[in-house]
């Protein structure tokens, strides 16, 4: 065979191999895209039921305590019941899954995306035991916060302000994940919405807690400064309407911005909101991330903000005191508070610390990251100082803890369907790190009397560790 014949032979072989490869690639595309639905539905297909043949991995708290366990395929138990339900979620053949059971479903069954892409090869590599998922949540703090809420409805969020790790995420009323499928109809019919995770899905008017953001925005927009003195006669006239102070209070004249936040002066913050107009308020809410999604570990309701450009003076003033159309989640308010002990930065909140293989190898580990830089370090220190004064000399005194710097802001959110909701947001600088938190207690009245004491219990427990 001559030199030219050899080259011709190699060319023909190369073309043949290329055609074979393209045919194989086309067939794989056909199986994965075109034929996938019918193959998945075929009763002879075992792949669709693969997860049912696997012993699901455990969900653990940060200290290794079991939050959800399985001893056999299809069996699941939840040692903490409704205490941990907002975190673990639930799992049912007919109702699907929620919470970490849903978000980490592939890891818990060992069916990673990488293995699924390998098809039959990946199926052969599949183990009979799923991976364990360790969370950032501390079961002891979660249980303490749950019990501190008593029989009240509402939510508690506690996070590490420096990393974004969620330490506790309570929602009440809650469900026992073990019984969800059996009681599905009665649970969905209940008026108190126990399936709603109020920490991430509950939408509430922020009340006076939003004055933290308004104070920051007013300084940023330069519509006031630290030297201005405000006058509060007890009511702010806007057209033919009035915005009054809580319980008919009159804060007098010579109020600084610090004083106004400490006293939670509606007149001052309604005035500041009108000075900023719709555009300034819109910029502030965007800057603090209220229009920006967070990571996919949270099934979060989208915050509802008014159309700022269409607001008249009265509605603009209502935004300044946390009433009107503005609706936020407790998670977002904990994130807001975190900026004031973390140099103006909000970290990306997360729940999953590690994914661990059945033999104990760490497959994936969380890497904390900055979400947004929402304010300057200087302004964070200023507003943080104002919030510290709220705790030391204002409406947040019930959250004070000896030996700990605690900052906070109380809030009362008007509720058209009953008693007002009580808020308390804030942060604390502890020996082992800085935390931020949000507590909302539905139909409880002022946040200083019911929500702030819950914060004190949480801070004290973390201090004494």
DSSP result, 394-458: STTGGG--TTSEEEEEEEEE--TTSSPEEEEEEEEEETTEEEEEEEEETT---HHHHHHHHHHHH
Give the max Cα distance, the chain.
107
CATH number of 140-352+369-463: 3.40.710.10
Strand partners, 134: 60, 354
How far is 411 from 167, CA to CA, in rounded Å? 23
Q: Is the peptide bond before 173 cis (omega within 30 degrees of 0)?
A: yes
Q: List CB contacts of 23: < 8 A, sequence separation 6 or more.
A: none
Q: What is the pLDDT of residue 109?
A: 94
Question: Which one, of 371, 291, 300, 302, lies nearest residue 86 by Cα?
Answer: 300
Contact in structure between 348 and 371 (CB atoms under 8 Å): yes
Question: Which one, of 411, 414, 458, lies nearest residue 436 by Cα?
Answer: 458
| Token pair in block for residue 380 | 């964070």
Q: What is the pLDDT of residue 247?
A: 72
Q: Element (H or E) spanning 60, and its range?
A: strand 59-60
CA distances in angstroms from 334 to 118, 180, 328, 331, 379, listed in the order given? 41, 29, 11, 5, 18
Q: Element (H or E) spanning 381, and its range?
A: helix 377-393
| Token pair in block for residue 20 | 């074979």
- How many Cβ atoms from other residues are within 10 Å of residue 345's Cβ? 18
- How many Cβ atoms from other residues are within 10 Å of residue 322's Cβ? 26
Q: What DSSP state is assigned to residue 346?
A: E
Residue with tokens 């006076």: 208
Q: Which long-range contacts (CB under 8 A, 24 or more apart) does 172-176 make?
A: 172/146, 172/198, 173/82, 174/82, 174/83, 174/85, 174/86, 175/82, 175/85, 175/90, 176/78, 176/81, 176/82, 176/85
Residue with tokens 């011709």: 8
Contact in structure between 108 and 130 (CB atoms under 8 Å): yes
How far is 424 from 452, CA to CA, in rounded Å? 6
Question: Which one, of 418, 419, 394, 420, lies nearest residue 406 by Cα?
Answer: 394
Length of the chain: 465
Sequence ranges of the domains in the chain: 140-352+369-463
CA distances in angstroms from 418 to 126, 440, 444, listed in the order given? 54, 15, 10
How far is 22 from 27, CA to CA, in rounded Å? 8
Contact in structure between 434 and 428 (CB atoms under 8 Å): yes
- How many Cβ atoms from other residues are within 10 Å of residue 28's Cβ? 11
Tens of each residue's pLDDT in the chain, 465 residues: 566 666 666 666 777 778 777 777 666 656 554 554 454 444 444 444 455 579 999 999 999 999 999 999 989 999 999 999 999 999 998 999 999 999 999 999 997 544 444 444 444 445 589 999 999 999 999 999 999 999 999 999 999 999 999 999 999 999 999 989 999 999 999 999 999 999 999 999 999 999 999 999 999 999 999 999 999 987 888 887 888 787 778 887 889 999 999 999 999 999 999 999 999 999 999 999 999 999 889 999 999 999 999 999 999 999 999 999 999 999 999 999 999 999 999 999 999 999 999 999 999 999 999 999 999 999 999 999 999 999 999 999 999 999 999 999 999 988 878 889 999 999 999 999 999 999 999 999 889 999 999 999 999 999 998
For residues 332, 371, 66 and 156, what is the CA-based torsion angle, rounded to 10 degrees?
-20
């Amino acid at each position: 065979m001559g030199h030219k014949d050899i080259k011709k032979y190699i060319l023909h072989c190369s073309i043949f191999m290329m055609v074979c490869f393209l045919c194989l690639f086309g067939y794989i595309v056909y199986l994965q895209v075109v034929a996938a639905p019918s193959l998945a539905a075929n009763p002879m297909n075992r792949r669709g039921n693969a997860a049912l043949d696997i012993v699901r991995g455990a969900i653990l708290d940060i200290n290794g305590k079991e939050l959800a366990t399985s001893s056999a395929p299809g069996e699941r138990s939840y040692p903490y019941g409704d205490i941990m339900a907002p975190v673990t979620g639930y799992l049912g053949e007919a109702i699907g899954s929620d919470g970490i059971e849903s978000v980490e479903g592939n890891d818990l069954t060992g069916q990673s995306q990488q293995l699924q892409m390998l098809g039959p090869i990946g199926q052969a590599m599949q183990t009979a035991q799923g991976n364990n998922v360790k969370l950032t949540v501390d079961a002891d703090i979660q249980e303490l916060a749950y019990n501190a809420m008593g029989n009240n409805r509402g939510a508690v969020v506690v996070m590490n302000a420096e990393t974004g790790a969620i330490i506790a995420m309570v929602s009440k009323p809650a469900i026992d994940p073990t019984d969800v499928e059996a009681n599905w109809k009665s649970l969905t019919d209940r008026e108190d919405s126990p399936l709603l995770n109020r920490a991430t899905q509950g939408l509430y008017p922020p009340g006076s807690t939003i004055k933290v953001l308004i104070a920051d925005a007013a300084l940023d927009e330069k519509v006031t400064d630290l030297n201005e003195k405000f006058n509060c006669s007890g009511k702010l006239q806007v057209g033919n309407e009035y915005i009054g102070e809580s319980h008919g209070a009159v804060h007098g004249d010579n109020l600084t911005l610090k004083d106004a936040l400490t006293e939670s002066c509606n007149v001052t913050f309604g005035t500041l909101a009108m000075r900023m107009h719709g555009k300034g308020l819109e910029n502030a809410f965007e800057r603090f991330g209220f229009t920006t999604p967070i990571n996919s570990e949270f099934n979060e309701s989208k915050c509802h903000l008014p159309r700022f450009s269409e607001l008249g003076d009265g509605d603009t003033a209502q935004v300044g005191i946390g009433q009107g159309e503005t609706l936020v989640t407790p998670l977002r308010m904990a994130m807001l508070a975190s900026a004031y002990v973390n140099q103006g930065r909000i970290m990306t909140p997360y729940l999953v610390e590690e994914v661990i293989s059945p033999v104990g190898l760490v497959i994936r580990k969380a890497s904390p990251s900055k979400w947004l830089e929402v304010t300057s370090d200087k302004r964070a220190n200023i507003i943080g100082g104002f919030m510290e004064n709220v705790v030391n000399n204002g409406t947040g005194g019930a959250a004070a803890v000896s030996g700990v710097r605690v900052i906070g802001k109380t809030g009362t959110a008007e509720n058209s369907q009953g008693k007002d909701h009580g808020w308390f947001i804030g942060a604390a600088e502890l020996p082992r790190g800085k935390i931020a938190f949000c507590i909302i207690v539905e139909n409880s009245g002022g946040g200083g009397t019911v929500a702030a004491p819950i914060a004190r219990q949480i801070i004290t427990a973390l201090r004494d560790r």
